[in-house]
A and B are shown apart, each in its own frame.
Chain A
Amino acid sequence: MDSRDPFRHNVLTSGHRACSGCGEAMAARMVSDLIGPDAIYINATGCLQVFSTHNQQSSWQAPWIHSVFANAAAVASGVEAALRARGKDTPVIVQAGDGGTFDIGLQCLSGMIERGHDILFVCYDNEAYMNTGVQRSSSTPHAVRTSTSPPGRLSQGKTQLKKDVISIMAAHHMPYAATATVAFFPDLKAKVEKAMTIKGPRFLQVLSPCPLGWVHDSALSVSVSRLAVETGLFPLVELEHGELTGVMRLAEQKPVEEYLRPQGRFKHLFGSKEGTVELHHLQALADARIRRYDLLGADTQWTTATAMQSQRHGRGGYAVSDSLHERPGSQGAQEVKADA
């Protein structure tokens, strides 16, 4: 507990080695602070593991284990099974990057969910392998420059789309799966708190900008991740047992260019004919996601405009899904099946 702030636990305490403006450090601090030290944390290999533990030093003020890259969800399954066998109900939390979730860790994660372990799996999604020097992952969005999807005479960056992992999660009919970002803390807080009241496997995908890999000013991490939401490229949604139950509406749709411009990873798209084609693709992707989740629907209670007005930063809280269920405006959204 932080003596200056009784609401803070400092589970991930200061002194670690994250880069300035690190979205993952921000997200992990928020999430672990909301959950507190009475939990067991399992970390996949990645930036968070590397910058928070170093040579017999640790930033973790809670029990924490790292094994290898791919197995965090399986290690957590064993931790949870052991707790069950020993009659304990300590919460079990997995933290992994997008590599440890979308790619190398997907099999263990799927097994963990299918078996119904009582675990919250948090993916800090910074859309590439940042720890090894910004290589593309299956989470990297379309047309992004990474060190293994470089633009060149024959290429405009990554040719494939970002894997729709939240739909894969929902297809497991798991009790709770949601997306969040560091830009909307009250939303993130509501989702973590809700996840912690639910038994069984839960999944949270937190978009976490990486100034190094996304090539933006490290002071812009929060605003960049806000723009990802406001353009429709990263919808904030909740899915329960495969059904869409919560959507953060857009007060207004911003053009994707506002999101892409501040980021060097999209710089190659500006000023060429081929790049302009990809910009249209990205706008079309945002439009499709807006249609799919009805992000411009009539609901005005829970929008990108109101989400930040809840209470002062760090104390806000929303009962998200109950009110959504009852609202007539959310009907359209509920008809969209994640695995349709």
Chain B
Amino acid sequence: MKKLLEGSQAVAEAVRLCQPQVVAAYPITPQTHIIEKLAQHVANGELDAEFINAESEFGAASIVLGAVATGARSFTATASQGLLLMTEVLYNIAGLRLPVVMVCANRAVGAPINIFSDHQDSMAVRDAGWIQLYVESNQEAVDTMIQAYKIAEACELPVMVCMDGFLLTHTFEPVELPTRLTVDEYLPAFQFARVLDPERPMTLGGASEPENFQEYREDQHGAMENTLTVIEAFDVEYEEHFGRNCGSLVQPYRLEEATTVMVGMGSLMGAMRDAVDELRFAGQAVGALRVRCFRPFPARALTQCFKGVERIIVLEKAISIGAGGIVAAELRAALQTAGITVKVESVIGGLGGRDLTPEVIKAIFEESPTVEMNRFAPDHNELTLHQTGDAGDAGNVGNVGNVGNVESLETRKGAPHG
């Protein structure tokens, strides 16, 4: 039976079903509802875990590091500034090959400070050695959470479940929660070989030298690449158990005979589907493709999706400042390696919670390709204003300037009001 659940509640229920023994976190919007719910589960005796209120996200990540190294399945969650504060520990967890699982409730990174959703936080730590899975819906957050523990523990690599802040964490959707019994059948009990134990003393995290450091990284990279087949296989197995899948590595939508394909990640896919449906109805040969697994980068699975495609547009909610779209750059490299010569347009949008509506997506589809490597997505309000001809105050929505832009903000504010 489906339940109407906020994304945070849904993911907390999924975590409870996986029975972590240690939960450590530090509050940050929009992640907080997840750990509040877990704290309540522990308080009610519904989750038999140690709930540790960390003194910072750096501490929270370190606590789950220690807990997993001591043989306890663990959980933490964060977002934005908190994820960046964890960065040093994230690299360390991955380097120690500890199967830690966490949720990143994707949020913009300041300055200017902004609590709303984009992918800048998790993209900033994309090279830390974590598997990154971007979910589209609350249902998928639940299902990916359960898969994440199985992937992490099978591969001895940490997994970051990335779910859009507010758009998912604070949005209610009908969600089917698996039963504890079926989760137990799918997800084996926690097992980890390199546990801190006086019976088998082991040194973890010792110093390394130039003659072997690179081999550690080669092993880590190889292990990451090997998880591609594991992620696929565990999604198939999940469907056998629960009757649903999470979209494997990449999830195509109406790619049949599509000549223009838009690529995106996370909850954005919903709006992309709507836009594709409308454009298809109008007779345009468009399709969409969601990258569910961004790390490891599914180059082969991705490039196989573009047979007969003449135009690829990557719409992404993060920017490598001074370089442009990150997914676009990686896709270009993958296509070039595969000998595919389709031009990839990079569009940056949805930053700091700016809405990427079907209208915006349709407009992007309809824009002519530019000579620039990257361009920014149009604003929904400006688009709809233009369409309706209504010159109300809505024209200023979204134009909140940062400190360096006060003057232009004033000018802009001044204009319509005389």
Contact = CB atoms under 8 A, between A and B. Distances in A.
Interface of A: 37-40, 42, 49-50, 53-58, 60-68, 70-71, 74-86, 90, 107-108, 110-111, 114-115
Given A64-B204, A108-B59, 11 more contacts: A37-B198, A49-B207, A63-B201, A64-B201, A65-B66, A68-B88, A71-B61, A71-B62, A74-B62, A78-B63, A82-B22
Contacts of B212: 55-56
Contacts of B5: none
B88 to A, nearest CB: 5
Interface stretch (B68-76, B137-145, B245-253, B324-332): B68-76
B59 A85 contact: no
Contact of B209 (A55, A67, A79, A81): A55
A68 B91 CA distance: 10
A78 B55 CA distance: 13
Contact of A76 (B21, B66, B207): B66
B49 A78 contact: no
B59 A82 contact: no
Contacts of A70: 58, 88
A67 B72 contact: no
B66 A63 contact: no
B260 interface: no
B202 to A, nearest CB: 6
A233 to B, nearest CB: 32
B283 interface: no
A90 to B, nearest CB: 6
A83 B70 contact: yes
B176 to A, nearest CB: 29
Give the most central of B68, B72, B92: most A CB within 10 Å: B72
11 contacts: A40-B198, A49-B206, A53-B206, A62-B198, A67-B89, A74-B54, A79-B69, A85-B48, A90-B198, A114-B55, A115-B53
B56 A107 contact: yes
Contact of B206 (A56, A63, A90, A114): A56
B201 A60 contact: yes
A54 B206 contact: yes
Interface of B: 21-22, 24, 48-50, 52-56, 58-72, 74, 88-89, 92, 96, 196-198, 200-209, 211-212
A49 B205 CA distance: 9
B72 A82 contact: yes
B63 A81 contact: yes
Contacts of A111: 54-56, 59
A83 B195 CA distance: 11
B206 A77 contact: no
Given A63-B198, A67-B89, A85-B49, A107 B55 contact: yes
A314 B182 CA distance: 58
Nearest to B49: A85
Contacts of B92: 67-68
Contacts of A54: 206-207, 209
B65 A78 contact: yes
Contacts of B211: 55
A56 B213 CA distance: 11
Given A74-B58, A78-B64, A65 B69 contact: yes
Given A76-B66, A78-B24, A108 B198 contact: no
A68 B65 CA distance: 11
Nearest to B66: A78
Contact of B203 (A58, A84, A85): A58
Contacts of A115: 52-53
Nearest to A53: B206
Contacts of A83: 70
Contacts of B203: 53, 58, 60, 64-65
A90 B69 CA distance: 14
A39 B70 CA distance: 12
Contact of B58 (A39, A71, A80): A71
A64 B207 CA distance: 13
The 6 nearest A-B residue pairs measured at CB: A78-B66, A53-B206, A111-B55, A74-B62, A82-B70, A82-B72
Contacts of B63: 74-75, 77-78, 81
- Taking each of B21, B50, B88, B207, which has the highest tally of chain A beta carbons within 10 Å of its own beta carbon? B207
Contacts of B208: 55-56
B199 to A, nearest CB: 9
A74 B66 contact: yes
A75 B201 contact: no
A71 B48 CA distance: 26
Contacts of B201: 37, 60-64
A77 B66 contact: yes
B58 A108 contact: yes
A78 B67 contact: yes
Contacts of B74: 78, 82
B22 A81 contact: yes
Contacts of A74: 54-55, 58-60, 62-63, 66
Most chain A beta carbons < 10 A, residue from B58, B64, B205: B205
User: By CB atoms of chain A within 10 A, which of B48, B58, B204, B206 has the most?
Assistant: B206
Contacts of B56: 107-108, 111
Given A55-B208, A78-B74, A84-B50, A38 B65 contact: no
